[in-house]
Amino acid sequence: MAREIFEVRDWDGAARLGELTVPRAGVTVETPALLPVVNPHKQTVPPARLQSEFGAEILITNGYILYGSDEFREEALDVGLHDLYEFDGAIMTDSGSFQLAEYGEISVDTEEILRFQHDIGSDIGTPVDIPTPPDVSRERAESELAETERALAEAETVDVGEMLVNAPVQGSTHPALRTAAAEHAYATDLDVFPIGAVVPLLNAYRYDDVVDVVAAAKRGLGADAPVHLFGAGHPMMFALAVAMGCDLFDSAAYALYARDDRYLTVRGTELLADLDYLPCSCPVCAASTPEGLRSEDDDERTRLLAEHNLHVTFEELRRVKQAIRSGSLLELVETRVRGHPTLVDGFRAMLAHAETLEATDPVSKGAFFHLSAESADRPEVLRHQERLERLTVAGDTCLLTTGSGNSDDHDTTWRVVPPFGPFPRALSESYPLTAEVPERLSREAYERAADGVARLVETNPDVTFTFAHHQWPASAVERVPDGVEVQRYGDGTDPRDH
């Protein structure tokens, strides 16, 4: 059964540009999308402005808070969320699971809270799942997951009309449980798939664990499943999370951080107190200075910081979308992860899943920029090396050369370019071998290329290979299999001298 509400338009690795159709709202939301969190009791930026000034197509608000609110419950039931918030995009509501995790109990079950969400006009509702925190025992994660799965089963039985329903994926930091949870959720007739309880990981900067959790969940979901990284709203990690295949993000951060005088940037968070300059050209920053912002009263300063935080967040999302369209998202990720060492860990964890990323990566993209040692482990490199196993070397002798000339002493000459490895000259102009590679390469790039040589040699046992290189590091040359004659340019054996 294909989920007709979500359509992928463009892929870049596991990242996708997509369209989420939200029937009850009568709108289509372009993904990746950011859902600003609207707190009914504290609207830092009114929802109408989120739409008109920031371009929000969808927002999220807490159905459980509205359910228990003396102030808003009746009005929400009377006029509906869209009128209450003066917002005609899509509105997702949360169920109180967060409160359940914080306070240990809530006074509502899945059936009742889903009916309430439906009755206040929510477009995407949420059952009461159990957000199991990271690092708990497998026994606890399993028994709480069983409860979440019961909640999903209950949700399937509630008549909610056109309202879409979230099917949260839990399982703590146990990858096999996350995958099983995702498979179970995907097999229900529910619609959107939030990956739950990652906030403690995000707060602790454990981006490698976040990547592994997302990868495990994605393994259990089909390509037509819209995936929400629940609680992730910092722009510094959007590129990485989108590259892993996340489509929806929500931000309470823009307002919560603003209240603590924290200023978001794509490279991390700054304290307003520490800033001498505003490294941003949004309307707030263009019209003010750090000193000016500090001199505002609390409410005004919070509002202005929240607006800056939203501008920088939406801007990064647009940049990520353009990067997917241009086929340069991984270059953006490589750039962004330099903002914090733990993001580098996240990136390396992501590259350990290169095979998954490769599966949906377009065969040809713009240009491959080799930007760091990690570039050597990108899915495009993996794909090239897998392709080597299907390429036949013509003749009995082959020169593999890092130079540009042809050998008269061999039946055939192939080029070797780090980090990809060997390829026949005919492929020189095809992606990704057209890569832009720096002259001063990391050791890893040579080593990966040598791995490619080894792969080619293995699959062509009847060919006699000669490998000619110019000043490759020993750690790479060592990876060239025995039986291959190794020559160094500059030893008088440069085939370019012929």
> Mind telling me the catalytic residues?
94
By CB under 5 A, is residue 275 in contact with Zn ion? no
Part in contact with Zn ion (CB under 5 A); list of ranges 174-182, 191-199, 273-281, 415-423: 273-281
Least spacing, CB of residue 319 vs Zn ion, in Å: 15
Buried-state track 109-145, b at ≥16 Cβ within 10 A, e below 16: ebeebbebbbebbbbbbbbbbbbbbbeeeeeebbebb
- If DSSP codes are grouped into helix, strand and coil, which group holds residue 488? strand
Q: Where are the alpha helices (DSSP H) in 92-165?
A: 97-103, 110-119, 138-157
Residue 49 or residue 479: which is nearer to Zn ion going by CB?
49
Q: Cα(361)–Cα(373) distance, rounded to whole angstroms?
A: 21
Residue 74 or residue 300: which is nearer to Zn ion going by CB?
300
Residue 266 or residue 435: which is nearer to Zn ion going by CB?
266
Selected binder of Zn ion within 25, 151, 181, 285 (CB under 5 A): 285
Part in contact with Zn ion (CB under 5 A); list of ranges 33-41, 200-208, 284-292, 347-355: 284-292
- Among positions 50-79, residues that touch Zn ion (CB under 5 A) are none
Report residue 239 CA to chain centroid gap: 6
Backbone angles phi, psi at 249, to 5 degrees: -135, 155
Binding-residue pattern over the window 303 to 322 for Zn ion, x denoting contact by CB under 5 A: -----x--------------
Query: For residues 134 and 172, is the Cβ–Cβ distance under 8 A?
Result: yes
Least spacing, CB of residue 116 vs Zn ion, in Å: 37
List, as one string, the DSSP characters of 11-44.
Answer: EETTEEEEEEEETTTTEEEEESEEEEEE-TT--S
Q: Cα(233)–Cα(221) distance, rounded to whole angstroms?
A: 22
Closest CA to 244 of 206, 212, 204: 212
129 is in an annotated binding site: yes
Residues that contact Zn ion, how many (by CB under 5 A) = 5
By CB under 5 A, is residue 280 in contact with Zn ion? yes
Least spacing, CB of residue 226 vs Zn ion, in Å: 30
- Among positions 6-45, residues that touch Zn ion (CB under 5 A) are none
Query: For residues 358 and 379, is the Cβ–Cβ distance under 8 A?
Result: yes
Least spacing, CB of residue 280 vs Zn ion, in Å: 3
Closest CA to 364 of 430, 317, 298: 430
Angle at 184 between CA 182 and CA 185, to 5 degrees: 65
Least spacing, CB of residue 282 vs Zn ion, in Å: 3
Angle at 187 between CA 32 and CA 324, to 5 degrees: 20
280 is in an annotated binding site: yes
Residue 145 or residue 285: which is nearer to Zn ion going by CB?
285
Part in contact with Zn ion (CB under 5 A); list of ranges 17-25, 212-220, 275-283, 432-440: 275-283
Binding-residue pattern over the window 141 to 180 for Zn ion, x denoting contact by CB under 5 A: ----------------------------------------
Part in contact with Zn ion (CB under 5 A); list of ranges 141-149, 193-201, 231-239, 280-288: 280-288
Closest CA to 251 of 35, 3, 477: 35
Strands (DSSP E) along 283-418, which ranges? 397-401, 412-417
246 is in an annotated binding site: no
- If DSSP codes are grouped into helix, strand and coil, which group holds residue 422? strand
Least spacing, CB of residue 57 vs Zn ion, in Å: 21
CA separation (Å) from 421 to 199, 376, 454, 474, 493? 40, 10, 9, 16, 21
Residue 88 or residue 270: which is nearer to Zn ion going by CB?
270
Residue 126 or residue 309: which is nearer to Zn ion going by CB?
309
Residue 106 or residue 312: which is nearer to Zn ion going by CB?
312
By CB under 5 A, is residue 336 in contact with Zn ion? no
By CB under 5 A, is residue 282 in contact with Zn ion? yes
Least spacing, CB of residue 263 vs Zn ion, in Å: 8
Would you mind telling me the total number of residues written for the chain in this entry? Answer: 498
Q: Which residue has 């990323």 as its token pair? A: 357
Annotated binding site for Zn(2+): 280, 282, 285
Annotated binding site for substrate: 129, 197
Q: What residues make contact with Zn ion under the rule CB under 5 A?
A: 280, 282, 284-285, 308
Annotated binding site: 129, 197, 280, 282, 285
